Structure 1
Amino acid sequence: MSELKSEQIKNVEKSLNSTNTIEPLNAPKNESEGLILNKFSLYETKTRFYILGTNQNEEKYRVLKIDRTVPEELIITDDDVIYSKQEIVQLLAMIEDGNKISGGLHRIARFFGIIGFVKFLEGYYMIIITKRSAVALLGGHYIYHIDDTLLISIPGQGVKIDKKQNEAKYLQIFSQVDLTKNCYFSYTYDITCSLQHNLSRKPGRQNFLQNEMFIWNYYLLKNGFKSFKSSWVLPIIHGFVDQSKISIYGHIVNVTLIARRSRHFAGARFLKRGVNDEGYVANDVETEQIVHDAKTTSFYLPPGRYGNKPSFTSFLQHRGSIPLYWSQDTSTMAPKPPIHVNVVDPYYSAAALHFDNMFKRYGFPIIVLNLVKTKEKTKRESILLDEFTQAVSYLNQTLPQSKQIKYIAWDMARASKSEDQDVIGILEDIAEYVINTTGFFHSGAEPTINAMRKSGQTGVVRTNCVDCLDRTNAAQFVIGKCALAHQLYALGILSHPSLPFDTDAVNLLNAMYHDHGDTIALQYGGSHLVNTMETYRKIAPWTSHSRDMIESIRRYYSNSFTDAEKQNAINLFLGNYIPSDDQPLLWELPTDYHLHNKNNQVMRPLRS
């Protein structure tokens, strides 16, 4: 084995012995930041962890060092040097030789990415991805599902740790966030942002500008890395990803659904309702519907045509709780607890912040589709209807006519029980209005007959019912069905932008949105969808009604008996609550209100 050059050995030793953390967020770009790492090995000595990261072809390597001697601190050294395979073998031999007296160097894991770092009351832990599976392919970029993870204690053996009585309890709560359910990542594609956003910037991982509200491991990554442009940083989203292939008139088309759940004001159904004082709402989910010609394999080939890929289309929708301060009293043990508007906000400041954020994310206009009930024997949902209607009316007074919130209120539940109302027909009319108003993204030239249509989506439809689950998902499917027809038309596959029900393409999309809705319902409500498209199309058999009753009971049980533990786990994972000796224990807090609402007395006007 040849020796490392003397100058390189000096550089390696200097890097390995350095205790400086990595460069800050505004650090200059370098070659190491552009290297895509997707295979990792974890080695340990008595005093350090060494993580080796390499690219797909295992031609280039980087090294990350983690100190194991100071449990109360996380000391990470990012070596900027890019090594060849031969050089990394020599480096490992050097580390092995230098640690013979204390036990040597041992490889303890091969893995696929670092989720992040967390500390409770004792030392730090590292969470890594040990199993993955590819679930989608977009323009040559794989999207993976996390199949298994491993949590590793960082302090080494023999390191003196001040033992804490409640460390094991926090570890048990943290482990209740199951990262193997509905968590996704990509090494080369920014899944926190829309296709429209990603194709509007130059290719390359160093140009990622992640949408931090959808980075589910944001807090865990921030504990270990000061730069989100680091090659070691791997953002994950929590939500839903599904991809299906279908043949339409001889064209093979891929349909992809990506749902991104916001990390802000996240939690379980009855414990997270409405809005917090920063304008973030409960059950905030962005759903993207991507339709592209399957024969197109890359965004960036052929060279010189970046940003003009006529085979890719995308449409965005949004769901989120009604942006008012409201809650439900679960102490009565009623299946449908009463609804209360908790805080009188005469200027609708929280709603203003919420829509302000939506304008920045999606542009104008924002179309609100409010599906709560309008008439009830005992006022419940209609309390929110009246208040939300007033809120939108008030906020529109501060906006110019061209940028006002477009508000549609429709009692979908009442319509579905009526014999003379066509629920699907009404939703299809709303869907056509939405598509014609916001448009959708098409990366490339339109067919000549459609050349005047804008190629990008501006604005979004924001759908809600009370839970933003059953009615919302059915409405989103019908809007998605309408968008699919327009997307296929833009790709030159359909001669007219319309698709009837009970065709292969619509049945496929229906199945995808059903899985999408089930997943979101399990994440937020603790059960599957109660009402499906068959319910609203009025073709559900009695067995379906029985299933709906069972799911209602499951949702009620989850909300009544397991949501408190679920909420504690989410708050711990997302960093809403950070354990320390000088504050109350997480499980002894009477409420987590202060974790999500810090200054709700502040009233701010809506910015135009």
Structure 2
Amino acid sequence: MYRGKLQWCSDVIFYMLNETRYIKLLRKMDLTKDYFFSYSYHIMLSFQKNLSNSKTGVAIYETMFVWNEFLTREIHNQLQNTHWTVALVYGFFKQATFKISSQDFILTLIARRSRHYAGTRYLKRGVNEKGRVANDVETEQIVFEDVPEGSPFGATSVVQNRGSIPLFWSQETSRLNVKPDIILSRRDFKFEATKLHFEDLVQRYGNPIIILNLIKTLEKRPREMILRAEFANAIEFLNKDLPEDDRLRFLHWDINKRPRIKAKMALIRLSDVAANALELTGFLHCQLIPTSRTEELQKLSPVSCDDRGDHVKEDLDEMDVEMGNECDKLRGAYCVKVSSVQNGVLRTNCVDCLDRTNVGQYAYGLVALSHQLHALGFVDVDNINIDSHSPLAQDLMQIYEEMGDTLSLQYGGSAAHNKVFSEMRGQWKATTRSQEIIRSVQRFYRNAYMDPGKQDAINVFLGHFQPQEGGPALWELNPDQHYDVRKHGSSPTAERSRYESHYKADLAIACFSLLNCFFYCLKVTLLNHYLVVIVLCHCFMPVITVSLSCNHLTDMKV
């Protein structure tokens, strides 16, 4: 009898401990940072898709970029509508007003991070069986005229995409190796998952799909080269079964092949690629007029679309589009006249889809801005290209750099490596080197020690893992792509002893691995004494953190 009561008490205590740990995991999701929403605009959709919904009269509630979809799913199912919830988008949002030719325009940069296959750098790589890739982010650049409320105005939008290389590949999180080997974890001879990924892109954006691949082509020890060769094989294989007009456009440029190339020259070459891509896909250009001034609609030219992306064309093939009631709350009802739409997308990637990808996306954004301003009548055709050293280009670069840092912190654990941006600004090289090394150490530490907990928090928040009574707890599973069960039914005592041994071992490993990372950075860059002191201070801050963690095991057990 007493034994049964003791067992019951033990189960209750263990259940409470698990519940408290799940609560602590959820608290790691800081909803005050990098999340945004709108009461009057479907912020999870691009501007073009918002216009498509308005034309059909049906609000398509796409959930790919809605990070509270799991938390609001039951509400939607019970009420059969989405009016009582707000879609929460994770990524980056920035809006600023600029002036050119004595005219004001508003630029909005939005990055929407996909909730599918979401996670951290080494724990989410490549593609899954459904064709979802890691670090999948849609970036939209919207430019419209800054006019008094109630006045007609022109608006433009261009969308680009980034995402991990859509193959089954991984890198083992290593506390002793700064640059882990890249492993093709599974051979997909028919590239089924890769095919699903690109079919999804076509469904989202239309054709053509242009792939800008920025990984290395030459290495002493093959790492990225392995991915490049397999990715090229995949594209070649998939294109065999596609009509010529729908084939994937694969562009490769090794931005690191000539490390001494000036940043300006690298930007020029990327801008040439961007200009060709923009010519193929086009961009959205429309004019919005308040319904009270509909007589001005007669002055507008009819919609102009080509044969690319029929599913997009069908949504926007009428001249007049009346915005729904949700827009009434913000700016009043508008009639929309569409001049052109975007069909297809530029997809940029490097290994992490962070540092080099940021440069590629800025180059595309700068070229797109030139054409957007021309479409709105701010610049003439002779001055359509914006000088990369002009104040406007510098302001745009700062916004893209801020976006890159934000996305890098979310996925990689540190701000982005902005060597090209720093060189474009003429920043002192010694300062740039010290900054790059500090960020490398920060990224290494967080990937090795903090990402598993962060990944667990993301999986619980998004509903990818849902605790089941009698089932294994989240921390009893491997923090990998598929969550293979490691062990079942561990007791609180066993859990406590396991964590104590792990944290004590972490202190010694942290000292060794961070020093290893530091000396790796020394091999790459020549440092003066001042920089050594700075980097050493930043290296050993994580060690102090781990040491403090060991002294607070009781708090961390729960």
Shorter-normalised TM-score: what interval?
A: 0.7 to 0.9
Read off the aligned partner of 1:493 and give its amino acid letter: F
* Whole-angstrom CA distance in 1 between matches of 2:278 and 2:387: 17
Counterpart contact for 1:372–1:410, Cα < 8 Å: yes
Are positions 1:182 and 2:18 aligned together? no
2:450 to 562, 572, 580: 562
The answer to whether 1:374 aligns with 2:217 is yes
Residue 213 of structure 1 aligns with an amino acid whose one-letter code is: M
Matched, 1:259 2:102: no
Name the residue aligned to 1:583.
471
Determine the structure 2 residue equivalent to 1:327: 170
Task: Measure how far apart 1:270 and its partner are.
Answer: 0.5
- In structure 2, what is the Cα distance between the partners aligned to 1:378 and 1:361? 37
C-alpha separation in 2, matches of 1:228 and 1:414: 54
Matches within 5 A, 1:112-511: 164-202=16-54, 207-226=58-77, 227=79, 229-295=81-147, 297=149, 311-331=154-174, 333-418=176-261, 422-444=265-287, 455-496=340-381, 497-511=384-398
Is contact 2:477-2:483 (8 Å) kept? no
For the structure 1 residues 161 and 337, does the alpha-carbon distance in structure 2 shift closer, same or farther, using more than 3 Å as the test? closer
Q: 1:533 to 1:310 in 2, by over 3 A?
A: farther
One-letter amino acid of the counterpart of residue 356, structure 2: R
Question: Shift of the alpha carbon at 1:593?
Answer: 2.6
Aligned to 2:555: none
Q: What TM-score do you get using the length of structure 2 for normalisation? A: 0.72
Cα distance, 1:504 vs structure 2: 2.2
Deviations 1:425-470 (A, max 9, x none): 111110110111111100149999x989971000000000000001
Q: Alpha-carbon deviation of 1:582? A: 2.3
Rounded to whole Å, the distance in 2 between the matches of 1:564 and 1:181 is 20
More helix by share: 2
Give 1:169 deviation, angstroms: 0.8
Contact 1:367 1:462 in 2 (8 A): yes
Q: Distance in 2 between matches of 1:483 and 1:321?
A: 23
1:524 to 385, 400, 411: 411
The change in CA–CA distance for 1:165 and 1:407 in structure 2 (over 3 A counts) is same
Q: The residue matched to 2:41 in structure 1 has which SS?
A: coil
Do the aligned partners of 2:401 and 2:418 also contact (CA within 8 Å) in 1?
no
Q: Percent identity?
A: 41
CA drift of 1:419 comes to 6.5
Higher strand share: 1
1: CA distance, partners of 2:386 / 2:80: 43
Contact residue 159 and residue 345 of structure 2 kept, 8 A: yes
User: Is residue 333–residue 560 contact of structure 1 (8 Å, CA) maintained in 2?
Assistant: no
Per-residue CA deviations over 1:377-425 (Å, capped at 9, x if unaligned) read: 0000110000000001101111100000000011012234346992111
Task: Give, in whole Å, the separation in 1 of the partners of 2:42 and 2:305.
Answer: 30
Higher relative contact order (CA 8 A, sep 6+): 2
What is the CA RMSD across the aligned residues, in angstroms?
2.7
Deviation at 1:570, TM superposition (A): 0.1
Matched AA of 2:26:
F
- In the TM superposition, what whole-angstrom CA distance separates every residue of 1:217-275 from its partner, at most 9, and x where no partner exists? 00000133315633212111000000000111111100000100000000000100001
Distance in 1 (alpha carbons) for counterparts of 2:52 and 2:46: 10
Alignment size in residue pairs: 427
- Calculate the TM-score normalised by the size of structure 1: 0.67
Cα deviation, residue 163, structure 1: 6.3
The residue identity in structure 2 corresponding to 1:528 is: A
Runs (5+) with no aligned partner, structure 1: 1-159, 303-308, 597-608
- Runs of 4 or more above 6 Å deviation: 160-163, 445-448, 450-454
CA–CA distance in 1 between the matches of 2:270 and 2:92? 24
Cα shift at 1:166: 1.2
State the alpha-carbon separation in 1 of the partners of residues 98 and 263 from structure 2. Answer: 35
Q: CA–CA distance in 2 between the matches of 1:357 and 1:426?
A: 29
Q: 1:538 to 1:416 in 2, by over 3 A?
A: farther
Aligned to 1:543: 431
Change (3 A) 1:543 1:228: farther
Q: Distance in 2 between matches of 1:415 and 1:425?
A: 14
Q: CA deviation at 1:539?
A: 3.9
Q: 1:592 to 1:503 in 2, by over 3 A?
A: same
My pick for the range that moved more, 457-466 or 221-230, is: 221-230
CA distance in 2, matches of 1:291, 1:341: 41
SS at match of 2:52: coil
Give the corresponding residue for 1:85.
none
Distance 1:517 1:228, change over 3 A: farther
Task: Tell me how far 1:329 sits from its aligned partner.
Answer: 1.8
Cα distance change, pair 296–381 in 1 and its aligned pair in 2 (3 A): farther
* Cα distance between partner residues in 2 of 1:577 and 1:315: 35
| Secondary structure in structure 2 of the residue aligned to 1:511 | helix
Q: 1-side partners of 2:61 and 2:304: how far apart? A: 32
- How far apart in 2 are the matches of 1:271 and 1:234? 29
Q: d(CA) in 2 for partners of 1:190 and 1:595?
A: 34
Per-residue deviation at 1:536? 6.1
Q: 2: CA distance between counterparts of 1:482 and 1:505?
A: 12
Deviations 1:20-42 (CA, angstroms, capped at 9, x unpaired): xxxxxxxxxxxxxxxxxxxxxxx
Contact 1:423/1:536 (<8 A) preserved:
no
Mapped to 2, the partners of 1:242 and 1:419 lie a distance apart of 29
